[in-house]
Amino acid sequence: MTVLYNGPAIFAGSFRVFFFSAALWAIVSLGLWIIYLAAGVELAGDVISWHAHELIYGYGGAVVAGFAFTAIPNWIGRTPVRGGTLALMFGLWFIARLSAAALLFDIQAMNVASVSEILFFAMFVGLAAREVIAGGNKRNFKIIAVFVLFFLSALVANLNRLELLEVPFLPWQTGLAILLLLICIIGGRIIPAFTANWLKKKLVEDGITNMDDQLPIMFNKFDVVVILFTVLTFVLFIAGYSGYTLFVSVAAMVLHVIRLMRWKGMKTFSSPIVLVLHISYLWVPIGFALLALSGMDLIDETTALHAWTIGAMGSTTLAVMTRATLGHANLPLTDSAVLTAIYTAVNLAAALRIMAAFMYDHYDMLIRASGGMWLLAFGLFVLKFGPIHFAKSKL
């Protein structure tokens, strides 16, 4: 039974409030980072850890929550989480972000930031688990397990910055690995599926009826092997086994390239909204390749991390946020100049950041250009999709 919703439009669906807010935070948090780097403004605390934490748990947490409570109702056929419950969850996320911003200006809000963030993730995981269990769809229990890991990672990260827990690794790197694991799992389902849907229509238009060898290979045992090997690589990397990481990173790169080739992305160049999914996933093996190079002391490790954060995370999340917003607002999933600009800008941001590692004489210029492209991508998203997120819901 459809339940009518008459509250504020922004809380009519998780994709509305969390995708919009995630994009705004992507702009604000990077803006503060640029002020620190370029303007020489003295900011308080460990700014590098702050930058990483806010990208992974601030931006990443909002996008995952927005995706989860948009996708889960489709998986299990239940009414979406919205209204007061959604507003409360968003409020916890917002307080954590506001308090985190205050930390940079030496306003003592660490306890508020950490407690709010822990409560946000606890509420997010609890609600997601409740919905999936109520829907009885055991196939999606493994996604909930990954959400639980993300929550535990956030918990450890916050206890660590409160100096209540000491760990022999960087907690935010664990959070990044979990987000990349989600990209590998969910991407492995939606990328070939969306590509197949688009290719079938195109092949029919071209008069091709024998499609068997033209379509992507769907999720199978090979994908399971790739994901398990990816988990092993991340574990070795986070644990600091650099010698082993070098070899497994190369193997992981090869496996992900093979996986990507199975999805027929080379056939999608005429549709940016489909092609961007393949380009976004390409940053996963690029990150492993750069990680291997860092293991040989040829580049800095942060270059590989930025391939994953700006490239894999940034591009994938924007691709998903644009598609989900259009789809759930009952707007056509068609390409446009704005969408192409968004996808181009975020991928240029990743490419320029990596180029900086190889063109050190132009390092500062390339870093600023990368930041500018990131701001452009998310600025265009806010301008294009913000009005849709705030439009009156018909649900």
Task: Show the tokens assigned to 328.
Answer: 């759930």
Q: What pLDDT was estimated at residue 108?
A: 74
Cα separation of 166 and 239, whole Å? 14
> Same structural domain for residues 228 and 369?
yes
Task: Quote the percentage of the chain above a pLDDT of 90.
Answer: 72
pLDDT band at 3 (very low <50, low <70, confident <90, very high): low
pLDDT over 70 (residue 43): no
Structure-derived torsion over alpha carbons of residues 90, 96, 102, 108, reported in degrees to the nearest 10? 140
pLDDT value, residue 170 = 86
Show contacts of 46-54: CB within 8 Å, 24+ apart.
Answer: 47/104, 49/161, 49/170, 49/172, 50/100, 50/103, 50/104, 52/170, 52/172, 52/176, 53/100, 53/157, 53/161, 53/172, 54/25, 54/29, 54/97, 54/100
Percent of the chain with pLDDT over 70: 95
Q: What is the DSSP letter of 201?
A: H
Provide the domain count of the chain. 2
Res 292 pLDDT > 90? yes
Is 319 part of any domain?
yes
DSSP 313-328: IIIHHHHHHHHHHHHH
Both 149 and 205 in a single domain?
no
Which of 61-65, 100-104, 277-281, 301-305 is least confident?
100-104
Higher pLDDT, 64 or 43: 64
Look at residue 146 and tell me if it is in a domain: yes
| C-alpha torsion sign, points 138, 141, 143, 144 | positive
Query: Residue 80: is its pLDDT beyond 70?
Result: yes
Q: For the chain, give percent helix, strand, coil, nearest 5.
A: 80, 0, 20
Kindly report the CA angle at 305 between 303 and 309, in degrees rounded to 5? 120
Q: Is residue 45 part of a domain?
A: yes
Whether residues 120 and 254 fall in one domain: no
- Whether 395 has a pLDDT exceeding 50, the answer reads no
Does 394 map to a domain?
Answer: no
Supply the pTM of this predicted model.
0.93
Question: Are 221 and 315 found together in one domain?
Answer: yes
Domain-located, residue 179: no
Which residues touch 241 (CB under 8 Å, ≥6 apart)? none
Asked if residue 208 and residue 102 are part of one domain, the reply reads: no
Is 369 found in the same domain as 249?
A: yes
For 339-382, what is each residue's pLDDT tens digit? 999 999 999 999 999 999 999 899 989 999 999 999 999 999 99
Asked if residue 123 and residue 53 are part of one domain, the reply reads yes
Q: Torsion over CA of 258, 262, 266 and 272, rounded to 10 degrees?
A: -110
Q: For tokens 């293991």, name the residue.
A: 295
**194 belongs to a structural domain:** yes
Residue 354 and residue 260 in one domain: yes
Question: What distance in Å separates the CA atoms of residue 195 and residue 216, rounded to the nearest whole number?
Answer: 7
Averaged pLDDT, 298-302? 92
Q: What is the pLDDT of residues 172-217, one digit of tens each?
A: 999 999 999 999 999 999 999 999 999 999 888 877 777 777 899 9
What are the structure tokens assigned to 361, written together?
Answer: 């004489």
Do 201 and 280 fall into the same domain?
yes
pLDDT score, position 1: 45
Among the candidates 137, 167, 197, a domain finishes at 167
Torsion region of 169: left, alpha or beta (phi above 0 gives left; psi -120 to 50 gives alpha): beta
Q: Which of 167, 197, 232 is the last residue of a domain?
A: 167
Residue 181 forms part of a structural domain: no
pLDDT in tens, 370-386: 999 999 999 999 999 99
Same domain, 142 and 252: no
In a domain, 297, yes or no: yes
CA distances from 73 to 87, 254, 354 (A): 18, 35, 38
Confidence of residue 394 (pLDDT cuts 50, 70, 90): low
Average pLDDT value over all residues in the chain: 91
Q: Residues 158, 201: one domain?
A: no
Q: Taking residues 283-300, what's their average pLDDT? A: 94
> What residue type is 195 in one-letter code?
T
pLDDT at 110: 80
Residue 89: which residues within 8 A CB-CB, separation 6 or more?
65, 81, 120, 123, 124, 127
Expressed as residue numbers, the domain containing 301 is 189-387
| Cα distance between residue 31 and residue 41, in whole Å | 12
User: Which three-class secondary structure state does DSSP give residue 63?
Assistant: helix
Q: Do 289 and 197 share a domain, yes or no?
A: yes
